[in-house]
């Protein structure tokens, strides 16, 4: 899983998010920074309010929360979502030593490799390059 810091960098670089079932997120700054939530049609869903999307908590699982504005949460995209966001610039994921490298087509047409211990984090680093950070 990518770190909150990496997710915040992706958001700042312009990665958009339309919450969907199965998406992971955290709510920073509310003494729940370490809690990872998952959008689920049964317990957490997305409601379109006049003020914008709300992440709603239903049932007894998260009884202390009714809803939170989407901009107050940080999306933690999964490996497949990061790969999809790379689009046609993605070339391959390869294991290297104790980690992974994501190869993408750079802006000048040459190959770039982005390395991390975790495949999702390697994808996130490659996406930051694509988004221009």
Q: What is the pLDDT of residues 105-114, one digit of tens each?
A: 998 999 999 9
Query: Is-contact 85 104, C-beta < 8 A?
Result: no
Residue 61's pLDDT band (cuts 50, 70, 90) = low
CA distance 10 to 125: 9
The contacts of residue 110 (CB under 8 Å, 6+ apart) are none
The domain total for the chain is 1
Structural domain span for residue 103: 4-132
pTM for the structure as a whole: 0.82
Q: Give the single-character DSSP code of 60.
A: S
pLDDT at 129: 96
Give the max Cα distance, the chain. 52
Residue 65 binned pLDDT confidence (cut-offs 50, 70, 90): low
Tell me what pLDDT residue 67 has. 77
């Amino acid at each position: 899983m990518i770190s909150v810091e990496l997710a915040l960098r992706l958001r700042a670089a312009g990665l958009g998010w339309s919450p969907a079932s199965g998406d992971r997120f955290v709510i920073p700054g509310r003494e729940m920074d370490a809690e990872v939530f998952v959008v689920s049609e049964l317990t957490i869903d997305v409601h379109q309010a006049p003020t914008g999307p709300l992440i709603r908590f239903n049932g007894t699982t998260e009884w202390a929360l009714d809803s939170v504005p989407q901009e107050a949460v940080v999306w933690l995209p999964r490996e497949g979502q990061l790969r999809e966001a790379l689009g046609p610039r993605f070339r391959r994921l390869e294991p290297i030593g104790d980690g992974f490298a994501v190869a993408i087509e750079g802006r000048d047409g040459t190959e770039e490799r982005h390395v991390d211990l975790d495949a999702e984090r390697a994808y996130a680093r490659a996406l930051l390059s694509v988004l221009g950070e």
